[in-house]
Amino acid sequence: MSVLEIVLVALLGGVSVYAVVLRSQLTRSRVLVKRLEAERAARDPRRRRRSAPLVVRRAEKAVKAVTESADILRTRGVSGLVASSIEDLTEWVREDRAAVERFAAPDGTVTVFFSDIEGSTALNERLGDRAFVKVLARHDELVRTSLANHDGHVVKTQGDGFMVVFRQSADGVRAALEIQERLGRERGRLRSHDIAVRIGLHRGAVVARDGDYFGRNVALAARVAAEAAGGEVLVSDELRESLLDATEFVFDEVREVELKGFTGLQRLWLVG
């Protein structure tokens, strides 16, 4: 056994002991959580049972990873541990590629869409929570319908905001314009409360993991949306270039702006 292997064995041995301690502490924590849940359920029998807190679930995952690594070292040696790590990395890359390819254009790029309600905090304050929730529900229904009409995949929502990906840039712009058109002719509470949605789109390569998308181009799409005013659809220069052959879209004006976190001026286009 080489010096490196001896050091690694000693290190993993210490980590294994630490994992045992963590496991013991985690067991006690779960007992405490269950006790608190039982006490709360006793106070409110109608309350539905919830899963363990996120911090507990993450701790379980960490302890499991450490103990699995220690087991591999004991049974298969250092070479087995390295091989296992390579296998895990290969699987991660395979899952990432599959997740991206689901919504990627032939050139490997994804169209990323962000939207939110302009001035939603002030609107909530003016209407009150109950009325605002009703307005938000109607907004969400309208947005989701338009996204589904054009093959948009909702990645996540937060409050009144949507993050969506499309395989084709044209579908993303069509969905955005449909949302604005429907909002413009909406009758009832949405129109009476002057709901204005701002939408931004960008196209580029992304990284996918656990159902979410990350990377520079995701951040850029979010910045594009932040530059839009209520009722506007703004797209990046890259997305516009992908639609130069599409005669159905009119790019009314170009804006050169500085986007936080990005160097130089960015050209953004207003879609008419």
The tens digit of pLDDT for each residue in 22-37 reads 566 556 656 655 665 6
- Residue 123 shares a structural domain with residue 219: yes
For the ranges 19-23, 44-48, 217-221, the one whose mean pLDDT is highest:
217-221
- 199 is in which domain, residue-wise? 110-271
Strand, coil or helix: 70: helix
Q: Do 29 and 56 meet the contact criterion of CB atoms below 8 Å apart?
A: yes
For the entire predicted model, the pTM comes to: 0.65
Range with lowest mean pLDDT among 20-29, 164-173, 196-205:
20-29
- pLDDT at position 97 is 55
Q: pLDDT at position 223, please?
A: 97
Domain's final residue, options 101, 133, 148: 101
For residue 214, give the CATH number of its domain.
Answer: 3.30.70.1230
Domain boundary among 71, 101, 131: 101
**Weakest mean pLDDT among 70-74, 147-151, 209-213:** 70-74
Residues 25 and 79 in one domain: yes
Q: What does 188-230 look like in DSSP terms, one character per residue?
A: SHHHHTT--EEEEEEEE--EEETTEEESHHHHHHHHHHHHPPT
On whether both 252 and 188 belong to a single domain, the answer is yes
111 and 171 Cβ atoms separated by less than 8 Å: yes
Same structural domain, 94 and 120: no
Pick the range with the lowest mean pLDDT from 50-59, 102-111, 159-168, 174-183. Answer: 50-59
The C-alpha atoms of residue 124 and residue 133 are separated, in whole angstroms, by: 8
The arithmetic mean of pLDDT across residues 162-167, rounded, is 97
CA distance 96 to 205: 12
Residues 27 and 114 in one domain: no
Report the chain's mean pLDDT, rounded to a whole number: 77
| Closest listed residue to residue 109, CA positions, set 27, 205, 24, 36 | 205
CA 17, CA 21: separation in Å to the nearest integer?
7
- Asked whether the predicted pLDDT for residue 164 surpasses 80, the reply is yes
Burial status of residue 12 (CB atoms within 10 A of its CB: 0-12, 13-18, 19 or more): buried
What total of structural domains would you count in the chain? 2
Condensed to tens digits (0 to 9), the pLDDT of residues 209-264 reads 888 999 999 999 999 999 999 999 999 999 999 999 889 999 989 999 999 999 99
Nearest to 225 by CA among 194, 186, 190, 271: 271
pLDDT at site 209: 84
Same domain, 11 and 124: no
Q: Are residues 227 and 154 in the same domain?
A: yes
Residues 117 and 221 in one domain: yes
Distances (CA, A) of 231 to 20, 163, 206, 252: 57, 17, 27, 14
Q: What is the pLDDT of residues 126-148, one digit of tens each?
A: 999 999 999 999 999 999 999 99
Confidence band, pLDDT 50/70/90 cuts, at residue 185 = confident
In this prediction, what percent of the chain has a pLDDT beyond 90? 52
The residue to which tokens 């009150």 are assigned: 128
| 23: number of Cβ within 10 Å | 15
Calpha distance 112→63 (Å, rounded)? 36
Q: Do residue 85 and residue 159 come from a single domain?
A: no
User: Strand 212-214 and strand 197-204: pairing?
Assistant: unpaired
Give the residue from 55, 84, 101 where a domain finishes.
101
Please tell me whether residues 134 and 244 are part of one structural domain. yes
Same domain, 36 and 70: yes
173 & 218 share domain: yes
Select the more confidently predicted residue: 35 or 107.
107
Q: Are 243 and 259 in contact (CB under 8 A)?
A: no
